[in-house]
Amino acid sequence: MPRPAFMPRPALPRRWAALFALIAALVGGFVGPVAAAGPTHAIANHALAMHGEPALPASFQALPYVKPDAPKGGRLVQGVVGTFDSLNPLIVRGTPAAGIRSYVVESLLARNLDEPFTLYGLLAQSMETDAERTFVAFTLDPRARFSDGRPVTPEDVVFSYRLLRDKGRPNHRTYYAKVKSVEVTGERTVRFDLKGSDDRELPLILGLMPVLPRHALDPETFDQTSLAPPLGSGPYVVAEVRPGDSLTLRRNPDYWGRDLPINRGLYNFDEIRFDYYRDANTHFEAFKRGLYDVRFETDPGRWKTGYDFPAVRDGRIVRESASDGLPEPVTGFVFNLRRRLFADVRVRQALIELFDFEWLNTSYYFGAYRRTGSFFQGSDLSALGRPASEAERRLLAPFADAVRPEVMDGTYAPPVSDGSGRDRDSLKRALDRLDAAGYQLDRGTLRTKRGEPLSFEILVATKDQERLALAYARMAQRAGVSASVRLVDSVQYERRLQTYDFDMILNTWTPSLSPGNEQAFYFGSKAADVPGTRNYMGARNPAVDAMIEAVLAARDREALVVAVRALDRALISGLYIIPLFHLPDIWLARWQTIGRPEKTSLYGPLPETWWRVAP
């Protein structure tokens, strides 16, 4: 299960980037009262959870991290670095605008972001499945309406499923293809037959499926980019589009779900506007001038020295540090193994050795960062510093060479330099590995016996990424490696990402507390050659695939932890990225006119819980 999609992608995402726009269509499993008679017996439930019991009873009145009586009104302006050329976030083509999936298009179920993995009714009033999860059925709320007043029907659910299965993003196509059949079983009920899918997460993936209006969409043109305002059932409608510049959403006064307990204290602004900026400096200067309301800061230097201006000094801007309960984001320079250069693991290992985190952290970032060594760091799912249990070893036994000994016994850590920027020992280790891979220094340049230089391009989309990539290029140059850095605009960057047209990129994956099907989308072999997945490295690893299957088969939290730790060991051992770093806290700056709840959710501060403070 990925983190939810609320916030736009920053230049260098950190922990809060869990809230940006990855399509949140992948979550879950089921728990709740189930008759013991067998897999065909089930009763209606108000919530679905992967493991354990839902935290909130059917009678709950509001989510625990909201202010239920938050004032309504005013406008929230958010600043985004980049641009957009589409209002459809559910397809591969185009760069979608922020906010559509979060505020305009709804799902059958909604998440309580104070639990690792539980969904509650939204468009669906109730849902049911059996102990084996061979089916899931949803009963729609009779009040559910699209913003044009038309009711949401089971036929809309079936239409959405088929449309996204055939023309949606690769994650939609992959997961929805596991459904054996779907049928309308009543005036408000739709049932999905999941026999043979062997996927215990699938009921909740379907629960988070976007529900689209069949009367307002043309399947023939659905997969084409469009700036036409989409019709949804959510709390907001598209009010104004300025292509590439801004998107304004306005509260729907007739929103059908405004009184639901799952929505109480949410969506408090009459208007939400996303303003787009071409670069990070302009973005920050706009915040200083009050052109947008809230800023999640990801630059330690700016956080340390850049906020000494009048609005901060006189208290009009409040600076806060917050935290969440999630694994750390995984940021790294990603090797594209589709390139012959990076197919040799010795080359990848040498390039990892050349990255001097200790010097960079001190010289560039005021020592604020922590090194990332695990794909699930900061949680009980991480293998870092933990010897493999017997259960993990049994899972990994068929893949004898998939996990490095130091990763298996828990002694692995990313390389550590002396912090001087000229560590001779790390340079020697890198050159020894490159020599073993067939590279020799020739007048300061590493070459093969055929004279081919060891060179590659790092593709970046922002000035912050460019600065970091240039720093690494200088580190690599010490060993005779030629790394060029190419800065492109966000549209071209997104296009090249979708088609894997790069040597190396900077990327962040945002793991959840309950990993599931999205792991195949991130790291599975089948995703390696499908355009639009997040398997940017092109990993094709049978051990990784098998551990993902074990994650999906886990029936309780203990089995999940075992499977995810084994997956973590296989991913670490694959040397797919040069692991970078993460911030220990979430840094938030907001104009005093924006209020937020005292309690922070498990997923950190959430814009949909904020409100406008009366002057």
Longest dimension (CA), the chain: 77
User: Residue 43 has what pLDDT?
Assistant: 63
Element (H, E) at 111: strand 109-111
Average pLDDT of 302-331? Answer: 94
Question: Quick check: 36 pLDDT over 90?
Answer: no
pLDDT at position 52 is 77
Q: CA-CA distance, 153 to 213, in Å (whole number)?
A: 9
Classify 236-325+585-612 by CATH class: alpha beta
pLDDT band (50, 70, 90) for residue 443: confident
Contact 360, 416 (CB under 8 A): no
pTM of the model: 0.79
Question: What is the residue extent of each domain of the chain?
Answer: 236-325+585-612, 330-582
Q: What is the mean pLDDT of the chain?
A: 91
Q: Could you report the per-residue pLDDT of 564-607, keeping only the tens digit for each?
A: 999 999 999 999 999 999 998 999 999 999 999 999 998 899 99
Length of the chain: 615
Q: How many helices (H) and strands (E) does the chain have?
A: 16, 25
List of residues 6+ apart from 258 with CB closer than 8 A:
235, 267
Q: Determine the average pLDDT of the residues in 273-302.
A: 95
Q: Cα-flanking dihedrals φ and ψ of residue 501, to 5°? A: -95, 70
Cα–Cα dist 110/263, whole Å:
9
Would you state the pLDDT for residue 606?
A: 95
**Which residue, chain included where needed, has tokens 């995810």?**
564
pLDDT at 33: 31
pLDDT for the residue 512: 86
Residue 68 pLDDT class (50, 70, 90 cuts) = very high
Rounded Cα distance, 502 and 338, in Å: 9
Show the beta-strand stretches assigned E in 301-442.
Answer: 317-322, 330-335, 370-371, 440-442
> Which CATH architecture group holds 330-582?
Roll (3.10)
Task: Please tell me the predicted confidence (pLDDT) of residue 170.
Answer: 86
- Flag whether pLDDT at 21 surpasses 70: no
Instruction: Give the residue-averaged pLDDT of 430-459.
Output: 95
- The residue-averaged pLDDT of 463-485 equals 96
Contact 326, 512 (CB under 8 A): yes
What band does 556 get if pLDDT is binned at 50, 70 and 90? confident
Plot region of 175 (φ>0 → left; ψ -120 to 50 → alpha; else → beta):
alpha
In this prediction, residue 323 has a pLDDT band, given cuts at 50, 70 and 90, of confident
pLDDT for the residue numbered 256: 98
- Which of the four pLDDT bands, split at 50, 70 and 90, describes residue 42? low
At 132-157, the pLDDT tens digits run: 889 999 999 999 999 999 999 999 99
pLDDT at 34 over 60: no
Q: pLDDT tens digits for 220-273?
A: 999 999 999 999 999 999 999 999 999 999 999 999 999 999 999 999 999 999
User: What pLDDT is stored for residue 3 in this prediction?
Assistant: 47
Which residue stretches of 57-193 are H helix? Answer: 154-167, 170-176
DSSP for 461-508, written as a single string: SSHHHHHHHHHHHHHHHTTT-EEEEEE--HHHHHHHHHTT--SEEEEE
pLDDT on residue 13: 37
